């Protein structure tokens, strides 16, 4: 099995402008991400950006593909890169977010392998158990439910499935969260290129707009999405200044040890 990794890296992040270039222990964040991707089994790891500052920062660490500046999402940016590279419809590309400098290479391989093993699915993604009521009720933590065959049933910002009795007080504070009944969606995706071309041609789905979750466009259009628990823990990415400070502390401590 072969696959490509594409890292969308947009300079103009709304919450953290210039995020791909944020210094992490002497390296730009996007370079840290690319180094992780290069340790996966991908044929190539590429960076997709619309900003020359990102291109220059990546340098020789990876191939950079310049894309349009008006893409509404990272998925659209991926599709443009796949088109520019002339990838075949059955080729697999993995979208690794440009703000995941600690992404384990093993989970990059895993999501690509899962899609390759399930030709009935058009996308694949990963999840991990939710072990705190705070995360379960946090709308910024995306939840997913899936069937016995690993097909996604729904993604939501709400605490799904809803435990009728256990959530009676609206918090689930005293609920036993063990047993793998609640799952956090991890935002890494594998796509077949032919599906990418179709995906970007579809208008945003009402469910997608309501929840602000792009993956719901696939489900709304009847495209099966494979979901599996990640084989390794996936550390959180960098969305805020607090996340950036936490990541810098972690890498500084790792370098010292």
pLDDT-derived band at 171 (thresholds 50, 70, 90) equals: low
CATH number of 1-103: 3.90.550.10
Domain positions in the chain: 1-103, 109-234
Within the chain, residue ranges assigned H as helices are: 29-38, 52-58, 74-85, 105-117, 133-136, 193-201, 206-211, 216-220, 241-256
Matching fold, domains 1-103 and 109-234: yes
Q: Is the pLDDT of residue 191 over 90?
A: yes
Q: Is 187 helix (H, G, I), strand (E, B) or coil?
A: strand
**Model pTM greater than 0.75?**
yes
CATH class (in words) of the domain with range 109-234:
alpha beta
Give the torsion sign (CA, 202, 206, 212, 216): negative
Q: 163 pLDDT exceeds 90?
A: no
| Residue range 121-138, pLDDT digits in tens | 999 999 999 988 888 999
């Amino acid at each position: 099995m072969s696959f490509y990794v594409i890292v969308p890296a947009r300079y103009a992040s709304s919450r953290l402008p210039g995020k791909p270039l944020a210094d992490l222990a002497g390296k730009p964040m996007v370079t840290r991400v690319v180094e992780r991707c290069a340790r996966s089994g991908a044929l190539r790891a590429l960076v997709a950006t619309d900003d020359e500052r990102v291109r220059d920062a990546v340098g020789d660490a990876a191939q950079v593909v310049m894309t349009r500046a008006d893409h509404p999402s990272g998925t659209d940016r991926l599709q443009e890169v796949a088109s520019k590279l002339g990838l075949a419809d059955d080729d697999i590309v993995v979208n690794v977010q440009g703000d995941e400098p600690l992404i384990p290479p093993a989970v990059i391989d895993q999501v690509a392998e899962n899609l390759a093993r399930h030709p009935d699915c058009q996308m694949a993604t990963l999840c991990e158990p939710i072990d705190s009521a705070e995360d379960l009720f946090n709308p910024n933590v995306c939840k997913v439910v899936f069937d016995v065959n690993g097909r996604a049933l729904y993604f939501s910002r709400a605490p799904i499935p809803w435990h009728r009795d256990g959530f009676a007080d609206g918090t689930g504070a005293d609920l036993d969260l063990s047993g793998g009944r609640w799952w956090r969606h991890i935002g890494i995706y594998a796509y077949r290129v032919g599906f990418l071309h179709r995906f970007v041609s579809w208008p945003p789905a009402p469910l997608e707009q309501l929840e602000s979750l792009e993956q719901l466009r696939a489900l709304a259009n009847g495209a099966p999405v494979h979901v599996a628990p990640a084989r390794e823990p996936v550390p959180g990415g960098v969305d805020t200044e607090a996340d950036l400070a936490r990541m810098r502390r972690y890498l500084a401590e790792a370098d010292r040890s």
